Structure 1
Amino acid sequence: MKKKVLITSFDLEIGGVERSLINMLNSFDYKNYDVDLMLYSHTGDFMNLVPKEANLLEECSDYKTLRMSIKSIFDNHKYKLGIDRLLARLKAKGNGIAQMQYIWKYCLPHLPKMNKKYDVAISFLWPHYFVNEKVDADIKIGWIHTDYTKIDTDVDMDIAMWQKLDYIVAVSEECKSAFLTKYPNINKDILVIENITSPKLIQQMSCEKIDDFNDYEDTFKVLSVGRYSDAKGFDNAIKALRILHDREYKNIKWYIVGYGGDEALYRNIIKENNLEEDFILLGKRTNPYPYMKKCDLYAQPSRYEGKAVTVGEAQILGKAVMITNYKTAKSQLKDGVDGYIAELSVEGIADGVEKLYNDVELRKKFEGNCRNSNYSNEMELQKLYELF
């Protein structure tokens, strides 16, 4: 008899966590497990990538309110949830991360429970209150995708939440280590399961034709992919490109595939540095792989990461990769072998790009080592099945 598995997340907007979830769903063992997918909001460009084998549950309008504006909640006559959101905003005092915790705390009593019993419930996106409080399951698992030492959570609330899970999964050893640095007294088993990648699918999708990526021979194209947010460090990348142009590397252009709340900030910094023609925000793209395939260097200028999905995807496509020395960087690549780790600063980013621009042989070495490496890791899911 198949075991019943529930997997939950918020939506399928374009992002690393969402891409990781899609890859996991497309690699799951549906012969042995019946999988229900609970998304609080049926939105996002990845919705059409959910495999038909996964049973997408009906959207619940109450859970969708968790990221709606307070005005919209009242306009939809959900007054209790609207008041809960106002309380969460007041309690958080401007701390956006903690506000997410308080939203759950205050809204939880007014949110419905699942009416189905599961063998396993997986909460793929923090915070994990839904699986803890609203799902009846024999085994409950919560995922760690980021460096928790870099985000300002309400620690006491978080510890109480994590302790209710049976198992915790981190996407890298360094991600696990950072988590235990912040929460040293968590007494749950923490397992490392890497983000699932499918080289065959990535290679296929990289062949899609694109017409908005500068393909002139004399242009050195740097590419980054990610949300427009503080964590990704794209503001530092803009300033680094200004330094590179001041060093007379004027044929270097930097492209960003992504979207998010910091777009206006980035555009202001781009304008202040007179880089309107050279630092290009390409916007949201469901398929970033053709851009990766055509770039000369893939760069991840992040301030912190759990494990950046896009770095591994660029390596699958045989690209030279540069990342900053964030806390979990050494779990991402082998420095000097299949990529380069630059100092985490504006100057460090500029120096790293300059080094890889000038050292063609080093770039070729990285590209060759990436092409000769096997980045397929679908067997990582066996670790998860063992928990079941």
Structure 2
Amino acid sequence: YIYGCYNLNKDILINMKKRILVIGLTERMGGVETFIYNTTRFSNKGKYEYDFLVHGTDHAVFQNEINEFYGNGNHFYFIPSFKKKPLNAIKALLLFYKNNGNKYDFVHLETGAASELVYVFPFCLMNHIKLISHSHNGGGYSPIINSVFRPLLNLYSSTKLACSVEASNWLFGSKNINKVKIINNGIDTNRFQFNEKSRKRIRKQYQLDNDTFVIGHIGRFSEQKNHDFLIKIFSEVKRLRPNSKLLLLGVGELQSSIRKQVKLMNLDKDVIFCDLKSNTQDYYSAFDVFVMPSLYEGLPVVGIEAQSEGLPCFFSSNISNLIKITDNANIIPLTDNAKKWANKIVSVSNIINSRKNYAGIVSDKGFSIESTVKELEKIYGV
């Protein structure tokens, strides 16, 4: 009898869990992927459980870590890309929702493109699943396609979220701003705080002495991140401070062309391509400044992490003003040339001792991952 009651109560508790299907993870490391991983890892897994629908690949970043976090089997489903194989994608989606649609309370679509609706509609309606649409980018490559899908996305989203006003306007349109809730891109501030030992270790690894002025950037090699202009800025910095180095973390489709640009500008001894790194917190500690001249962003997670580490940061004015969380954030228009950027960058005084205080400031401003998860769980309900 007692064993039976235990099993019954256990089943009731399992059934009380909110099940959420997340669409937004890819095989690449990026800001959205990091956000999804962090919100999963800091969620209350006794009350909320996430599954992940991934398209266009057969593996996903953080797949092993998330399955290990839950410890109760596989949480990932893979389907073809709608863009590349539309018929195969439709068949896979029909089968997936037929077998799994009744499990979910919500589909959480985390994206920067309204066209991602094809992985949700009309399947949410057919299975009576509420759709949460969450915008993570302030621009994109296909504004026309985005505007075509926008009315449907607005119509069928029970909840609209965005990381910034710019991200909201891009995905939902400016006239819908009052219907959108802004959710901060929270980070693990305990992880991203300045560490002097890490600074010394990374700088030693790349043979950078104490006097070397290290500019850092973390981002995918894509048009959005504007590496071409970043290299030009660094070239001007070198004229002003010859002992400067630029560390680039990330991979992407434009990496080879940026390498060629660096070589043509005779900067190959001064620009260090670090590729992908899982210990980015150590690299922030090694940097002296962080530079991000993006063409567009929602609210970049790396910009928040850099400020949490107490770094002087230089962001393009195309990034949301919400990125100005601390007094270390500097906003520069992209209309300013590389020389103007360089002059402002070399003018900073980087006092190492003061960098330790910034993680607490970022947390107090509401950008801790704990605060973000609480906001999401209010939306999901208990």
Same fold at TM > 0.5: yes
Give me the whole-angstrom Cα distance separating, in 1, the residues matched to 2:356 and 2:132: 38
The answer to whether the Cα contact below 8 Å between 1:325 and 1:343 also exists between their aligned partners in 2 is yes
The answer to whether the Cα contact below 8 Å between 2:325 and 2:362 also exists between their aligned partners in 1 is no
Alignment partner, residue 73 of structure 1: none
Instruction: Map 1:207-222 to 2 at 5 A.
Output: 210=202, 212-222=205-215
The answer to whether the Cα contact below 8 Å between 1:221 and 1:296 also exists between their aligned partners in 2 is yes
Three-state SS of the structure 2 residue aligned to 1:143 is strand
Structure 2: any 5+ residue segments left out of the alignment?
A: 1-15
Give me the whole-angstrom Cα distance separating, in 2, the residues matched to 1:187 and 1:367: 36
Q: 1:221 deviation in Å?
A: 0.3
Instruction: Map 1:1-388 to 2 at 5 A.
Output: 1-40=16-55, 41-50=57-66, 52-53=69-70, 56-60=74-78, 63=79, 65-66=80-81, 85=84, 108-113=89-94, 114=97, 115-116=99-100, 117=102, 118-125=104-111, 126=113, 127-135=116-124, 136-148=127-139, 151-154=142-145, 155-180=147-172, 183-184=173-174, 189-203=179-193, 210=202, 212-245=205-238, 247-328=239-320, 330-334=321-325, 337-345=327-335, 347-348=337-338, 350-360=339-349, 367=355, 370-375=358-363, 376-388=368-380
Q: 1:225 deviation in Å?
A: 0.2
- In structure 2, relative to structure 1, the CA distance for the partners of 1:20 and 1:161 (3 Å cut) is same
- In structure 2, relative to structure 1, the CA distance for the partners of 1:167 and 1:148 (3 Å cut) is farther
Give me the whole-angstrom Cα distance separating, in 2, the residues matched to 1:203 and 1:359: 20
Deviations 1:219-250 (CA, angstroms, capped at 9, x unpaired): 100000010001111110111122233x3422
The answer to whether the Cα contact below 8 Å between 1:14 and 1:286 also exists between their aligned partners in 2 is no
Deviations 1:311-341 (CA, angstroms, capped at 9, x unpaired): 111112222211111141x110157x23211
Deviations 1:272-296 (CA, angstroms, capped at 9, x unpaired): 2111111222112222221111111
Specify the code of the residue in structure 2 equivalent to 1:360: S
Q: 1:152 deviation in Å?
A: 2.7
* % identical aligned pairs: 19
- In structure 2, relative to structure 1, the CA distance for the partners of 1:318 and 1:359 (3 Å cut) is closer
Give me the whole-angstrom Cα distance separating, in 2, the residues matched to 1:301 and 1:170: 21
Give me the whole-angstrom Cα distance separating, in 1, the residues matched to 2:196 and 2:151: 41
Deviations 1:188-235 (CA, angstroms, capped at 9, x unpaired): 932111123111233599976546434212210000001000111111
Q: Report the aligned-residue RMSD.
A: 3.1
- Across the two proteins, how many residue pairs are aligned to each other? 344
The answer to whether the Cα contact below 8 Å between 1:163 and 1:187 also exists between their aligned partners in 2 is no
Three-state SS of the structure 2 residue aligned to 1:256 is strand
Three-state SS of the structure 2 residue aligned to 1:168 is strand
Give me the whole-angstrom Cα distance separating, in 1, the residues matched to 2:241 and 2:220: 27
Deviations 1:57-100 (CA, angstroms, capped at 9, x unpaired): 3543xx1x32xxxxxxxxxxxxxx8xx73xxxxxxxxxxxxxxx
- In structure 2, relative to structure 1, the CA distance for the partners of 1:44 and 1:58 (3 Å cut) is closer
Structure with greater proportional helix content = 2
- In structure 2, relative to structure 1, the CA distance for the partners of 1:371 and 1:112 (3 Å cut) is closer
The answer to whether the Cα contact below 8 Å between 1:231 and 1:304 also exists between their aligned partners in 2 is yes
Three-state SS of the structure 2 residue aligned to 1:111 is helix
Specify the code of the residue in structure 2 equivalent to 1:46: F
Give me the whole-angstrom Cα distance separating, in 1, the residues matched to 2:308 and 2:280: 13
Specify the code of the residue in structure 2 equivalent to 1:49: E
Alignment partner, residue 6 of structure 2: none
- In structure 2, relative to structure 1, the CA distance for the partners of 1:334 and 1:253 (3 Å cut) is same
Give me the whole-angstrom Cα distance separating, in 1, the residues matched to 2:278 and 2:269: 24
Q: 1:139 deviation in Å?
A: 1.2
The answer to whether the Cα contact below 8 Å between 1:163 and 1:188 also exists between their aligned partners in 2 is no
* TM-score of the superposed pair, with normalisation by structure 1: 0.78
Give me the whole-angstrom Cα distance separating, in 1, the residues matched to 2:284 and 2:310: 9
Structure 1: any 5+ residue segments left out of the alignment?
A: 67-80, 86-102
- In structure 2, relative to structure 1, the CA distance for the partners of 1:378 and 1:132 (3 Å cut) is farther
- In structure 2, relative to structure 1, the CA distance for the partners of 1:248 and 1:203 (3 Å cut) is closer
- In structure 2, relative to structure 1, the CA distance for the partners of 1:13 and 1:163 (3 Å cut) is same
The answer to whether the Cα contact below 8 Å between 2:25 and 2:32 also exists between their aligned partners in 1 is no
